[in-house]
Amino acid sequence: MDLRATHHQVAGHDVVALDGIADLAAAPQLQSALSRSLSALETNSLIVDLDAATVVDDVAIGLLLGTATRCRDRGIDFAIVASTPKIAARLADTRVDRIVTVRSSIA
């Protein structure tokens, strides 16, 4: 399964929704999608929605943290949505939830 990334707006937030496997093979695509979304930002808030992601490996986590840093440097709020137990546990195990806001829904 490939990674699909879509950018849309929900409730005053720019949202990048990931669907599929976010791993080393998908890293260039993920980096491009995150960079494009940050460049096209129309709000002061970027949320990466991982609810349809089936795998989020260390490379993808690194790209998410890099994006969070770029957002922080620009004064943009950054959060990750992870309501599926597998992905939420992965973010907790890697302590991502101590670095960025991880929540269970966009709203």
Q: Is the pLDDT of residue 107 over 90?
A: no
pLDDT digits (tens, 9 = 90+) for 38-58: 999 999 999 999 999 999 999
Q: Which of 32, 31, 33 is nearest to 66 (CA)?
A: 31
In which element (H, E) is residue 9 found?
strand 4-10
Residue 90 to residue 1: CA distance in whole angstroms:
19
Confidence (pLDDT) at 1: 57
Mean pLDDT (the chain) is 95
State pLDDT tens for residues 74-96. 999 999 999 999 999 999 999 99
> Distance between terminal CA atoms of the chain?
28
- Report how far residue 7's alpha carbon sits from residue 46's, in angstroms, rounded to the nearest whole number: 10
Give the pLDDT confidence score for residue 99 in this predicted structure.
Answer: 95
The pLDDT value recorded for residue 73 is 96
Distances in Å between the Cα of 104 and the Cα atoms of 40, 58, 64, 101 are: 25, 21, 17, 10
